[in-house]
Amino acid sequence: MRAPEPLEILLKRLSVDKSDNILSALKKMDQLGIKLLIVNDNGSFKSLLSIGDIQRAIVRGVNFKRRLAEFSERKSRFASSIKVKMTSDNQ
C-alpha cells in the first residue's frame, strides 16, 4: 500500500495556473482521471475548473488555446466564502 501524499504535493498535482490554456487543463484532467481542477494565480486560489465548464466552452465554440485567466473570469462563490472556525468545541 502506498503512503498518502502530503497535502501540498496533492494540491499541486490537482492545480493549474491561470496562464495555462483550456486544452492543457483538459489534458491534465484526462491524465489524472479527474473532473475538477484548482485554478491558481501565483500559488493562490483563483477558482475551480470543472469538466462541465469545459463542456459548456465546447458548446459555445471557445478556442482551446485561450488562457484560463480569460476563460474563468467568474469568482467562486463557494470556496472563497468559506470561513473556518479556529476554536475548539470543547472550550
What domains, with CATH codes, occur in the chain?
7-73 (3.10.580.10)
Q: What is the pLDDT of residue 82?
A: 40
Residue pLDDT tens, the chain, 91 long: 677 778 888 888 999 999 999 999 999 999 999 999 999 988 888 889 999 999 988 899 999 999 998 876 555 444 444 433 333 343 3
pTM (two decimals): 0.73
Distance (Å, whole) CA 35 – CA 29: 6
Q: What is the pLDDT of residue 24?
A: 96
* Cβ neighbours of residue 32 closer than 8 Å, sequence gap 6 or more: 13, 14
Question: Which residue has 467562486 as its cell numbers?
Answer: 76
Distance (Å, whole) CA 9 – CA 2: 15
CA 11 vs. chain centroid, Å, equals: 9
Q: Is residue 49 classed exposed, middle or buried when 0-12, 13-18 and 19+ CB atoms within 10 A define those classes? A: buried
Asked if 66 and 19 touch (Cβ cutoff 8 Å), the reply is no
Asked if 25 and 16 touch (Cβ cutoff 8 Å), the reply is yes
Q: What is the pLDDT of residue 6?
A: 85
